Amino acid sequence: MDFQSWSEEELAGQRLMAGFEGTRLNREIAGLITHLQVGALILFRRNVEAPAQLAGLCRDVQACARDHGQPPLIIAIDQEGGQVARLGPPFTQFPGNPAIRDARDAAHFAAITAADLGSVGINMNLAPVLDVAPEGFPSVVAGRVFGSDPQRVAHLGTTVIQGLQDHRIMSVAKHFPGIGRTTLDSHLDLPVFDADLSVLKSFDLVPFHAAIQKRVAGIMLSHVLYPRLDSLWPASLSKMIARDILRRQLGFEGVVVTDDLEMGAVTRHYGFRVAIRQVLRADIDMALICHSAEKVAQAQALIARKIGESETVRARAEASAARVMALKTQYLAAEPLQEIPGS
């Protein structure tokens, strides 16, 4: 694919995953697709009324992109089970990662969840959580992890990844390089975890390394400051962590995604425009913006301007677009929707 022929706006749009209001295609959603040319949308409970409605929404947004000459959309959701599950009944309900006992349970969760998501046109699950929470530690993600043993988390997590992706649902492992030993919620403020790389490699990074070996489609970066790795920027904005460690040292070739850039960890300490500029510097592929269409527009304009100002930034943008489009080529071949659950 010749990305040199793409405009700055097209390259910028492919680097955005946007949330939106509404349960049916509306002016705001159409604008995200046709004007801002976003590469991905993310769904929340606010966008879901019923399976048939959700299937119609996903069909309509893909048709909108197709009719305006845009690539197919990544349509993502957080469907971990348990505490974080955006799809309620009649979709299948699971108690979450702590209740998964073995690989059979993990494979069952992945297969059923993939079928539910695929039946309505969702093609990416922002799961599994690969954080490791030590036994007895009051981890911020204690209710969302597979356990306290890195090898067990790696085994169960990669089983979920393989199960999702074997059923054509892209999997995004999170929250790199690990938030299992933090207690502060990054929705509110900036957590700090003071460990060096050797400590992280022996514990927190074990499941992520395994996920990379399984060719996980994406990895989400955490909004945590790791001062021994980067004293200035959290992982979600860090060139050292995103480019040097994740890409170069661990060899990850998939799509790197930030956590939501409207969280307190970013907005209270860095500001939105600073964060977007840092996403570019760190070669992060997709910026996640979950709520404000205005901020999506700001991000697209800023990224497009930076691409136009620098051949180096443009080359990196083309590399990011290539990674995003490689996933779309692999996973988003046109297929009819399966039977809708509960219909």
Pull the structure tokens for residue 225.
């400051």
Angle made by CA atoms 326, 330, 331, in degrees to the nearest 5: 120
Backbone angles phi, psi at 178, to 5 degrees: 130, 130
pLDDT of residue 180: 97
DSSP 222: P
Report which residue type is found at 268: R
pLDDT at 4: 87
- Residue 90 in contact with residue 53, Cβ under 8 Å? no
**Two structure tokens written together for 40:** 């991905």
Q: Find where tokens 């929404």 sit.
A: 57
Contact 296, 16 (CB under 8 A): yes
Instruction: List, for the chain, all residue ranges whose pLDDT scores fall below the cut of 50.
Output: 335-343
Spatial distance between the Cα atoms of 277 and 289, rounded to a whole number of angstroms: 14
- Can you state the percent helix, strand and coil of the chain, rounding each to 5? 45, 10, 40
Residue 301 burial (C-beta neighbours within 10 Å; 0-12, 13-18, 19+) = middle
Strand partners, 129: 174
Q: What pLDDT does 343 receive? A: 40
Q: Which CATH fold topology does 15-331 show?
A: TIM Barrel (3.20.20)
- Residue 256's nearest CA partner among 180, 184, 320 is 320
Q: DSSP character for 339?
A: P
Tens digit of each residue's pLDDT (9 = 90 or more) over 168-201: 999 999 999 999 999 999 999 999 999 999 999 9
State the alpha helices, DSSP H only, in the chain.
Answer: 8-13, 27-34, 51-67, 103-120, 150-166, 197-202, 206-213, 239, 264-267, 272-281, 293-309, 311-331
Count Cα atoms within 13 angstroms, Cβ side, for 289: 26
Residues with a catalytic annotation lie at: 187, 259
CA-closest candidate to residue 38, choices 308, 288, 333, 338: 288
- Confidence (pLDDT) at 334: 55
Q: Whole-angstrom Cα distance, residue 199 to residue 78?
A: 29
Rounded distance between C-alpha atoms, residue 294 and residue 265, angstroms: 20
Paired with 81 in beta bridges are 84
Query: Considering only CA atoms, which of 194, 186, 282 is closest in space to residue 238?
Result: 282
The single-letter code of the amino acid at 174 is K
What is the value of pTM for the model shown? 0.95
Burial class (CB in 10 A: 0-12, 13-18, 19+), 136: exposed
Task: Tell me the Cα Rg of the chain.
Answer: 19
d(CA 214, CA 120): 26
pLDDT in tens, 9-47: 999 999 999 999 999 999 999 999 999 999 999 999 999
d(CA 19, CA 335): 24
Sign, CA dihedral 202-207-213-215, equals negative
- How far is residue 200 CA from its own chain's centroid? 21
